[in-house]
Amino acid sequence: MRKIPVDYIIECASSVCGVTIGEIKSKRRTADVADARIAAIAIAYELRTDLSLGIIGNVFRGRDHSTIHSAVKAARVRRANDEEFSALYDEIKTNANRWPGPPERPVLFSREGRRA
């Protein structure tokens, strides 16, 4: 499974929702910023099962694991009850899944141990 960087998921949420990355990571609670943040957190939790809630919280400027858990639960409820939020969530997730992958590393040595 590809490990899509959480920062890339945040970039996708930023571009889809029309807010800055700084706003998503900030403490602002306006509706547009909160929607982008909740969606990004839930998508990170869904796509990066190798990361703990605490690690995801650290990417979002030191948020506590319980805050991340609350956001994931809120996103589930919102997706079930709010078509607009569900569409937003799906668009961010689709964009995140288009991550091209890590850049290729240059080959510094050939198989024989000599510089390439």
Give the orientation angle of helix 83-96 with respect to helix 65-81, to 10 degrees: 120
Q: Which run of H or of E encompasses 8?
A: helix 6-17
Structure tokens at 102: 């890590």
Three-state DSSP class for residue 57: helix
Asked if pLDDT for residue 37 goes beyond 80, the answer is: yes
Name the CATH architecture for the domain at 6-96: Orthogonal Bundle (1.10)
Structure tokens at 34: 């909160």
Confidence band, pLDDT 50/70/90 cuts, at residue 53: very high
User: What are the pLDDT digits (tens) for 25-35?
Assistant: 999 999 999 99
Structure tokens at 51: 């990361």
pLDDT at 106: 76
Is residue 37 within 8 Å of residue 60, measured between CB atoms? yes
Asked if pLDDT for residue 84 goes beyond 90, the answer is: yes
| Average pLDDT of the chain to the nearest whole number | 92
Which residue from 114, 85, 109, 93 is spatially nearest to 9, judged by alpha carbons? Answer: 93
